[in-house]
Amino acid sequence: MDTSTLPHRPGRLPVIGDLIGANPRTPLQDTLRLGRRLGPIFTRKIFGFEIVFVGGVDLVTELNDETKFGKHVGLGIENLRAVAGDGLFTAHTHEPNWRLAHDILQPAFSAEAMRRYHPVMLDAARELTAAWDAAAGPVDVAADMTRLTLETIGLAGFGYRFGSFERAEPHPFVTAMIRALRYAQLQNVKLPFVRRAFAGTAEQNRADIATMTNLVDEVIEAREGSENLLDLMLTEGHPTTGERLDPVNIRNQAITFVVAGHETTSGALSFALYYLTRHPELLAKARAEVDAVWGDREPDFGDVAKLRYVRRCLDEAMRLWPTAPGYSREAREDVVLGGKHRMRKGDWVIVPLPLVHRDPAAWPDPERFDPDRFEPAAVKKRPAQAYKPFGTGERACIGRQFALHEAVLALGIVLQRYDFDVDPSYELEIVESLTLKPSGFTLRPRVRAAATATTG
């Protein structure tokens, strides 16, 4: 793609390019800051490697046209293949295993299929409330939400308990996963000493991948046969051809579901709690809905989708901080983007979602947290492509319904049960890995008087 006319950071230097001011820990937040200044399309160049970012809704609408563009598996995602191989998230669309796995797994992620996972999602939520009931002081919200979502995907995916709530430290699988993801992502950093400082050694990485694959193999071995995702992959063939997934691909999918399926949802829950506790009037409104719809009852499957306002709070949290913060689009043919940017077949760009979700052309007063933006009438007035936290097209998130059922359920339960003491001095700090989440965000949960009366 000809980038000569595209804006970039002022003061680009020969050789190192836009390196000054770039922080390897916060590439997304650096990109956001730049994007706010540079507009809907811009570039960043580091050591001769130039990336085009597109954050304007109009251009993104063109990029999301599946006839002209598709998912690009490059940069960080290509490196992740060392961890997740040709699992759904890291597969190239042209690889036969992508379509095969997509078609086999799709039914397991329909809205109706969530009925099957509801009981184990409740189980995991009960573990969270047991831990918060017993908490003598503030809890680290993102850490506990990660425990919750890891238990949920463990149970719903494989009938496996990671035991996260019984551990002070993350499960070894999670430690290995976080390190391996960081290692994979930092392979693009051109300075070897920076890479070593942040990414660790190749030997450590091999050990981490072995920790992950060994656990998945153990879980497959110990399987007792129930209605979970793993079971489906092991027993079902393609709905029309009957073709089955091979064992290596099943392992790749299992790792993919843990990687793709828990930190994203936990981040969304954490951001939602952050914004709600910063806006007590909105928290009161969300809680009033839970009290009106659920009362003191434990919610059954059908109760979850009735929490419309709670869902809007999550939608709005994912607008400001989409926890999977972007995706890449590749031209399927020679095209001209926005009437002036020529792209050759195979050229690609990154879509940083927080920029799209804050484009003032679609979002008035974009920095303000306002769940009413997701009232049906307001949604209808907006361009359809202005909100894409689950990605776009055929490679969009297969776990969307799963994440939404789980997150609305968990947020509803937490609002039903607790009041919160807030640390007024906390300022939102965001930690970036493959996903985004608040760092150092604590709340002190106190069981509400009404909840004690019914359960205590």
Cα–Cα distance, 301 to 115 (Å, whole number): 6
Asked if 53 touches ligand HEM (CB under 6 A), the answer is no
* Three-state SS at 18: coil
Contact between residue 158 and residue 230 where contact means Cβ atoms under 8 Å apart: yes
Asked if 402 touches ligand HEM (CB under 6 A), the answer is yes
Residue placing its CB nearer to ligand HEM in the complex, 265 or 277: 265
Asked if 304 touches ligand HEM (CB under 6 A), the answer is no
Asked if 411 touches ligand HEM (CB under 6 A), the answer is no
Active-site residue, selected from the candidate residues 90, 152, 213, 264: 264
Contact between residue 257 and residue 95 where contact means Cβ atoms under 8 Å apart: no
Closest CA to 39 of 17, 54, 27: 54
Residue 397 falls in the annotated catalytic set: yes
Query: Rule CB under 6 A: which of 153-192 touch ligand HEM?
Result: 153
Residue placing its CB nearer to ligand HEM in the complex, 257 or 418: 257
Residue 313 falls in the annotated catalytic set: no
Half-sphere exposure of 450 (CA within 13 A, CB side): 13
Q: How far is the CB of 240 from ligand HEM (least distance, A)?
A: 18
Instruction: At 230, list the tokens.
Output: 């793993």
Closest CA to 410 of 243, 278, 262: 262
397 is in an annotated binding site: yes
Q: How far is the CB of 168 from ligand HEM (least distance, A)?
A: 25
Residue 257 falls in the annotated catalytic set: no
Contact between residue 156 and residue 117 where contact means Cβ atoms under 8 Å apart: yes
Q: How far is the CB of 71 from ligand HEM (least distance, A)?
A: 5
- DSSP codes joined into one string, 320-380: HS-SS-EEEEEESS-EEETTTEEE-TT-EEEEEHHHHTT-TTTSSSTTS--GGGGSHHHHH
Asked if 403 touches ligand HEM (CB under 6 A), the answer is yes
x/- map, 319-358, ligand HEM, by CB under 6 A? ----xx--x-------------------------------
Residue placing its CB nearer to ligand HEM in the complex, 38 or 272: 272
Per CB under 6 A, residues contacting ligand HEM are 71, 88-89, 102, 153, 256-257, 260-261, 264-265, 268, 323-324, 327, 389-391, 395-399, 402-403
